[in-house]
Amino acid sequence: MRFPYTKLFLNAQPRPYLNVFLGKGFHTSDVVMALVDSGADYPIFPMDMANSDYLNLDLVKAESWNFSGTTGLMQTAKLAGVWMTILEPNGTKLCEVLTMCAFCDTFKMSGGVLLGQIGFFSCFKTSFYQPEQHFEIEQWPAIAV
Amino acid sequence: MNPVRDMSKEKPAKREATVIRDLSTVLKEAPAGAWVALSADETRIVGTGSTMQAAALQAQLNHEYHPVLVKMPLPGEGLAAGVR
């Protein structure tokens, strides 16, 4: 599936964003625009997304993940398995994958939400066509074990 | 000795033009650094706030129950988003 790059500001560089939402049990989040970022280890969402208004995740016993961004500032997120639904450019559902996401209440990245290696790139073959300002994702075939 | 590659006779790579998803007009009034709720068709701002919940709540008050949330970058700020 092909997606155009998204431009948020008049003078901003178009970037590869996807519209996604998360689900856990009967709970779902709102749709968010997430930056496809091969430099991130995990998909990272604001902690707001995990709370009772959205996914109602119990993260008390969840695995902690320490990470740092380009600022070098160490931050801590909680990891949880959730369903992530990718939307097509026209807003219809493309697919849903069970994936591991990080939730962080101090994450200050301007993009808001990142889709990273484990949990996004591990699920989708992703090809960037920067000169043409689009990218393509294709779900990896299930690996037989 | 490396052979010299004569590129003058090579055809240029075929570039397929893509229409980008340009939200810059819709978002031009959006506060920098804020969470913004767009209508489901992404044609208008229906809420803003310092958190995604605040923006989503404002969207609901504006009768938009399926907003698309986006965190606005700061103007002129590039992204270097490597996170590990």
**Confidence label for B23 from pLDDT (cuts 50, 70 and 90):** very high
**Complex confidence, ipTM:** 0.89
- Please say if the pLDDT value at position A88 is more than 50: yes
Q: With pLDDT > 70 as the criterion, what percentage of chain B qualifies? A: 68
Nearest to A22 by CA among A30, A33, A14, A11: A30
- Give pLDDT tens digits for A37-74: 998 889 999 998 998 888 999 988 999 988 876 566 78
pTM score:
0.86
Interface contact A36, partner B, CB < 8 A: no
Cross-chain residue pair A7–B22, CB shorter than 8 Å: yes
Rounded CA gap, B22 and A4, in Å?
9
Q: Check residues B55 and B79 and name the one with the higher pLDDT.
A: B55
Question: What's the rounded Cα separation, in Å, for the pair A125 and A143?
Answer: 13
| Confidence label for B18 from pLDDT (cuts 50, 70 and 90) | confident
**Domain housing A24:** 2-139
Task: Tell me which chain A residue has its CA closest to the CA of residue B17.
Answer: A132
User: Residue A145 falls within a domain, yes or no?
Assistant: no
- Assign residue A92 the CATH number of its domain: 2.40.70.10
| Nearest CB neighbour to A6, from listed B20, B77, B84 | B20
| Token reading at B70 | 């986006």
Please tell me the total count of domains within chain A. Answer: 1
All residues at 6 or more sequence positions from A27 whose CB lies less than 8 Å from its CB, including other chains: A54, A55, A56
Asked if the Cβ–Cβ distance from B82 to A37 is below 8 Å, we say: yes
Q: Please say whether the beta carbons of B72 and B32 come within 8 A.
A: yes
> What residues in A contact B27, CB-CB < 8 Å?
8-9
Instruction: Name the average pLDDT for chain A.
Output: 88
State yes or no: pLDDT of B32 exceeds 60. Answer: yes
The pLDDT assigned to A145 comes to 47
β-bridge mates for residue A4, sequence order: A134
Range with lowest mean pLDDT among A15-19, A77-81, A111-115, B5-9: B5-9
Among residues B16, B73, B49, the alpha carbon closest in space to that of A30 is found at B49
Report, as an integer, the average pLDDT of B54-62: 95
Residue A115 tokens read as: 């889709």
Q: What is the pLDDT of residue A21?
A: 95
